[in-house]
Amino acid sequence: MSVLVAGTTGAISHHVLELLPREMGPLVAAGLQLPPPAQQRSDVLYVRADLRDPDEARRLFEYHQPSYVMHMAGRWSVRSGEQEPEDALLGNVSLARNVLEACRVSCPGARILLQSSAEIYGRGPSNRGAEIHRAEDDPALPVSTTGASLACCEILTRQYAIGHGLRVVVARPFNVVGPYLSEQFLAGELAAQLARIRVERGEPVLYAGDLEVERDYVDVRDLARAYLLLLDKGEPGEAYNVASGRAVPVRQMAEDLVQISGGGVEIRFDPRRERGAEIPMLVGSIDKIRKHIGWAPAIPLRESLRDLWKEKLERARSERKGKTSC
């Protein structure tokens, strides 16, 4: 029995790898890049691998014969998808296909979790209000390249579940917040801006896109806990929202971060950071995941933002120290 995690450097991968129990067997993490040594777990085997290459993916799975597979490799942020749309669309689909095919050939009995995103919901059906919580049986109506790519990945997943009997579960996280979050995601970028302002004593202005949109924020550590429960107890062939069930305006989240960082910073709209096709409100229902596996979020948003701020501040100080010593 062993666990193979596809994706090694994102915040979600980091916390999933931290939580994985050693008794599940040998732990393997594979990706294009490896995390810094300080962030690596000593009992995890980290493997540099390009899973976009079907032969490389096949060899990896054939060698390790995993009993559990968690697929989190790819481009998940909307910004990343818009910056490199071809890589996001084709890359995400080829990654999902190669992982699923490698499982079909080498470990067809494995339990598999594939990470998707609430981005697949888009603005929702035109006859429904944006304030209505998105449920798993809502249609996929993405308005971003990232959402479109992950909707395609979910179609592939359904094909492999029905056509080949793979025991695969889909997780649809809403907006992620918490330590180690990339600057490709809104909360991560805002926290990093504030950290640089404090460390470099720059202009006390925080730049953001549309501040009036509302999002459903879930802590990355709660998300990692949900993934492990879904991997163990999720119904094969099913998709599950992972969310808080509460919509929070971006302005409120930004103001909270400013306050946590010490205040005295102006929040200013920057049109360059605005999405081309914005979603006014995106909030998820957690009825299904609560009923099926008993999961519910435990970490308050304020705590998530505080821990994110601390991590970004420490990183900014470390980077500043490195520049100064050169």
Per-domain boundaries in the chain: 3-176+217-242, 183-215+246-279+299-325
Phi/psi at 170 (5° precision): -105, 130
> Could you tell me if 158 and 239 are in contact, meaning their C-beta atoms sit under 8 angstroms apart?
no
Q: What is the pLDDT of residue 130?
A: 65
Helix or strand holding residue 177 (H, E): strand 175-177
Overall fold of domain 3-176+217-242 = Rossmann fold (3.40.50)
**The pair of three-digit structure tokens given for residue 211, joined into one six-digit string:** 């501040």
Helix or strand holding residue 194 (H, E): helix 186-200
Q: What is the pLDDT of residue 326?
A: 47
Q: Would the pTM count as exceeding 0.85?
A: yes
Residue owning tokens 């102006």: 266
Domains 3-176+217-242 and 183-215+246-279+299-325 share a fold: no
The rounded distance, in Å, linking the Cα atoms of 177 and 172 is: 15
Q: Is 271 helix (H, G, I), strand (E, B) or coil?
A: helix
pLDDT tens-place string over residues 273-307: 777 778 999 999 999 999 999 999 999 999 999 99
Q: What is the pLDDT of residue 287?
A: 97
Which stretches in the chain have pLDDT values below 70?
127-130, 323-326
Rg (CA), the chain: 19
Residue (of 273, 277, 79, 283) closest to 175 by Cα position: 283
Q: What's domain 183-215+246-279+299-325's architecture?
A: Alpha-Beta Complex (3.90)
Letter string b/e over residues 54-82, b meaning 16 or more CB atoms within 10 A of that residue's CB: eeebbebbeebebbbbbbbbbbbbbbbbe
Could you tell me which residues come within 8 angstroms of residue 223 by beta carbon, excluding any fewer than 6 positions away?
12, 15, 173, 176, 242
Distance of CA 143 to the CA centre of its chain: 18
